[in-house]
């Protein structure tokens, strides 16, 4: 079937003219049962996603449409940019916690015919990919979207990279950085890091503030001051503070403590409670670190502590970003173990999220973790401003270190073997 007329109609309806690579990605999505779209920040993945949705709806108005991501934060963002309901993969497959299995599997696949778009696939590990593909029927066209140059999943495997490497899945790589063409220094830096280099003027790019330090002990104070200024402009949820590691003076644990004492200090009139995962105060910024389907919260979800509960059932009431009702976490049901403070987080934990301002620390103390895909992932979390507090040789190490840890899942070999 010739889809050129349909894609032209989609361009007209959306008021956009697609680049050749974007048009190719939409065409493959409509043509093949499985296809991949990969590209860095600002390359038009969101534009392509909207185009695929619009064209498919026009072609098959009565078919099922599913949008999903590995994490709740990524699913929320996917829904925001498409205007279509999106869920986590676990919610899509209807995870049954009492049986530790999914309702949708090879015996009870997702209803079709239809379209499934999965975003942030670089975060999907091998086990989750196995469960997802088991539940996809033959009449459900599937499009996988993600940035293959980001950090791989926390769990086993490198699913997106292996699918592309196998060469058997039709893939479109979006290379042109539209945000860079529009003058975004963040996009320029991210694209250069991806290629293993730094722009000649990388310390003076628009929207990028680079603060060089020799003594890493200065980093927490600088981060505290920059975070305070950013929160005044964008609010507590509008700032991401990231470090490669938890330990060290400029690691996540200490940055959490330093920033917290500035933004939400302890006091006699400040309600607080100590739970199994730490002390929490009213107004604290927290992160969910593990999925809990009973509570409807997912790894990477962010929230603010609304209320400290000290009656019979002790715990905290949290406003989770993207949910309508607050969620109660307690030691009694061990749900408090799902939480940690989130004034700062590791780059791995921040993957899948974005914020107007991203503040990133890199020092020689993080040497073992300094890799190209980590710096690239951190830089690409910023939407409006990036603050890089660093030691110069640490940045140089990260850019040059393209050591990708090989994950021996044998997925590539199995795919090639059919």
What is the per-residue pLDDT across 256-295, written as a single tens digit (0 to 9) for each?
999 999 999 999 899 999 999 999 999 999 999 887 878 8
The pLDDT value given to residue 405: 60
Backbone angles phi, psi at 42, to 5 degrees: 80, 10
pLDDT of residue 151 exceeding 90: no
Better pLDDT: 2 or 138 = 138
The model's pLDDT over 182-224, given as tens digits with 9 standing for 90+, comes to 778 998 999 999 999 999 899 999 999 999 999 999 999 999 9
Q: Tell me the two tokens of residue 308.
A: 């400290």
The pLDDT value given to residue 404: 65
The pLDDT value given to residue 406: 66
Query: Poorest-confidence range of 22-36, 149-163, 339-353, 365-379?
Result: 149-163
Helix (H, G, I), strand (E, B) or coil at 210: strand
pLDDT of residue 178 exceeding 80: no
The pLDDT value given to residue 180: 60
- Omega of the bond prior to 307 within 30 degrees of 0, cis? no
Burial classification of residue 7, based on how many CB atoms lie within 10 Å of its CB (0-12 exposed, 13-18 middle, 19 or more buried): buried
Mean pLDDT of 354-360: 95
The pLDDT value given to residue 58: 94
Whole-number Å distance between alpha carbons of 305 and 285? 7
Q: Quote the strand ranges of 78-186, DSSP E.
A: 87-88, 95-96, 101-102, 114-118, 140-146, 171-174
Q: At what angle do helices 20-31 and 45-59 cross, to 10 degrees?
A: 40
Q: Please report, for the chain, the start and end positions of each structural domain, with discontinuous segments joined by +.
A: 3-181, 185-400
pLDDT of residue 165 exceeding 70: yes
Confidence of residue 31 (pLDDT cuts 50, 70, 90): very high
CA dist 213 to 195, 217, 252, 364, Å?
25, 9, 18, 11
Q: At what angle do helices 20-31 and 4-14 cross, to 10 degrees?
A: 120
Q: What is the pTM of this model?
A: 0.85
Confidence of residue 385 (pLDDT cuts 50, 70, 90): very high
Query: Poorest-confidence range of 50-54, 240-244, 412-416?
Result: 412-416
The pLDDT value given to residue 408: 72
pLDDT of residue 163 exceeding 80: yes
> Would the CATH topology of 3-181 be identical to that of 185-400?
yes
> Is the domain covering 185-400 a CATH 1.10.3720.10 domain?
no
pLDDT of residue 181 exceeding 80: no
CATH code of 3-181, in short, is 3.40.50.300
């Amino acid at each position: 079937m010739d889809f050129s007329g349909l894609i032209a109609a989609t361009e007209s309806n959306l008021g956009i003219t697609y680049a050749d690579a974007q048009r190719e990605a939409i065409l493959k999505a409509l043509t093949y049962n499985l296809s991949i779209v990969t590209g860095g920040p600002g390359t038009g993945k969101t534009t392509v996603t909207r185009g695929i949705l619009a064209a498919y709806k026009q072609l098959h108005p009565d078919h099922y449409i599913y949008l999903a991501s590995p994490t709740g934060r990524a699913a929320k963002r996917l829904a925001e940019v498409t205007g279509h309901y999106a869920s986590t993969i676990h919610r899509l497959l209807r995870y049954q916690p009492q049986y530790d299995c999914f309702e949708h599997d090879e015996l009870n696949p997702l209803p079709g015919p239809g379209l499934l778009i999965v975003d942030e696939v670089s975060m999907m590990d091998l086990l989750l990919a196995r469960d997802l593909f088991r539940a996809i029927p033959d009449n459900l066209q599937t499009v996988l979207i993600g940035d293959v140059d980001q950090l791989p999943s926390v769990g086993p495997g490198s699913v997106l990279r292996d699918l592309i490497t196998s060469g058997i899945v039709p893939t479109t790589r979006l290379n042109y950085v539209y945000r860079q063409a529009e003058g975004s220094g963040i996009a320029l830096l991210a694209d250069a890091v991806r290629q293993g280099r730094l722009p000649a003027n990388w310390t003076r790019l628009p929207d990028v503030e680079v603060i060089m330090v020799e003594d890493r002990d200065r980093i927490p104070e600088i981060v505290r001051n920059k975070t305070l200024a950013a929160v005044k402009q964008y609010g507590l949820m509008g700032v991401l503070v990231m470090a490669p590691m938890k330990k060290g003076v400029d690691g996540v644990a200490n940055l959490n403590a330093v920033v917290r004492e500035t933004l939400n200090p302890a006091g006699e009139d400040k309600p607080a409670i100590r739970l199994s995962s730490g002390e929490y105060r009213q107004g604290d910024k927290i992160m969910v670190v593990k999925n809990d389907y009973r509570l409807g919260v997912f790894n990477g979800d962010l929230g603010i502590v609304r209320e400290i509960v000290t009656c019979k059932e002790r715990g905290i009431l949290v406003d989770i970003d993207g949910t309508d009702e607050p969620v109660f976490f307690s030691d009694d049901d061990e749900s408090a173990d799902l939480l940690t403070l989130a004034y700062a987080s590791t780059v791995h934990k921040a993957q899948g999220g974005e914020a107007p301002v991203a503040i990133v620390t890199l020092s020689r103390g993080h040497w073992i973790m300094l890799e190209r895909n980590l710096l690239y992932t951190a830089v690409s979390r910023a939407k409006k401003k990036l603050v890089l507090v660093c030691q110069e040789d640490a940045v140089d190490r990260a850019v040059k270190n393209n050591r990708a840890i090989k994950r021996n899942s044998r997925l590539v070999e199995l795919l090639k073997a059919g």
